[in-house]
Amino acid sequence: MIEEILKNSPPGVFFNHIYNYILFLRITIRAAIGGAFYFKEIIEQLYQIGNRSLSIVILVGTFTGMVLSFQTGIEMARFGAKAYIGSVVLVSLVRELGPVLTALVVAGRVGSGITAELGSMKVTDQIDAMRAMAVDPYKKLVLTRLTALLIMLPVLVAVADTFGFFGGAIIATTNLNVGFELYKSTALNNIYLEDLFSGLVKPIVFAIIIGTIGCYLGMNTKGGTKGVGSSTTLSVVISSIFIFVFDFILTKIFFLVYR
């Protein structure tokens, strides 16, 4: 998708998008200062994000924990370290798999929905109508969705981590003959503050990526319904790429700080 866009676009288009995205961030930050506060819209977006994502986040978290427990348990049994399955599962979920997989799910479910919704409003001139009625679309449409994502994504990550932990416990107790108390104690004894900090910061950064990219592409959609479809697909692709890129950057930073 990105290769086609870069190949079929003039050389200046890519840098033009970078400039417009930075300008979009500037306008959004300025809109956050003072003015009306759309509390009801934020609550509605919190419900929409949670409602769209909760079931699939639970499934992804549970089965990720089960697979992780099964795979690591078999390998660790060869070295007589099967008792430490719980710590491997929990640390892996909290520091890496929970934030990344949840963010990818939210990018696919919520980020695409935000782009499609705002893109449809853009091509049908509803956003221009809001400006005509002296309503700031950045404050009412962009900030409410971004705020809701910043609040809800860490919550969804915590849900995924919790269900992944218990999913791993199911496999450890039923297939690997590791008692739940041993599984739990080794996990809790080997999770540290820096692991929890990493698991909190990453969802916040990922929420900013998903929210700003989804809103930017939605607010700049052109070309009718075909343009809405293209923007929606592009939103998921770009968000997913940047999630992986920033995951590596943040992991490297945390490693340098806490080593």
Domain assignment present for residue 67? The answer is yes
Position 236 scores a pLDDT of 94
Greater confidence (10 vs 171) lies with: 171
Position 19 scores a pLDDT of 86
Position 13 scores a pLDDT of 65
Task: Quick: pLDDT tens for 111-152.
Answer: 999 999 999 998 888 888 888 888 888 898 999 999 999 999
Average pLDDT, the chain: 88
Domain assignment present for residue 21? The answer is no
The dihedral formed by the CA atoms of 173, 175, 177 and 179, expressed in degrees to the nearest 10: -10
Domain assignment present for residue 186? The answer is yes
Percent of the chain with pLDDT over 90: 51
On the question of pLDDT at 8 being above 80, the answer is no
On the question of pLDDT at 232 being above 80, the answer is yes
Task: Quick: pLDDT tens for 175-227.
Answer: 888 888 999 999 888 888 888 999 999 999 999 999 999 999 999 888 888 88
Domain range enclosing 172: 37-254
Domain assignment present for residue 208? The answer is yes
Percent of the chain with pLDDT over 70: 94
Q: Which amino acid is at 255?
A: F
Q: Is 136 left (phi over 0), alpha (psi -120 to 50) or beta?
A: beta
Q: Once rounded to an integer, what is the mean pLDDT over residues 59-88?
A: 88
Q: Which pair of tokens denotes residue 205?
A: 């950064």
Domain assignment present for residue 45? The answer is yes
Domain assignment present for residue 23? The answer is no
Q: Once rounded to an integer, what is the mean pLDDT over residues 19-38?
A: 85
On the question of pLDDT at 3 being above 60, the answer is no
Domain assignment present for residue 168? The answer is yes
Domain assignment present for residue 71? The answer is yes
**Residue 76 pLDDT grade (very low, low, confident, very high; cuts 50, 70, 90):** confident
Q: Which pair of tokens denotes residue 223?
A: 């070309």
Domains in the chain, number: 1
Position 12 scores a pLDDT of 56
On the question of pLDDT at 7 being above 50, the answer is no
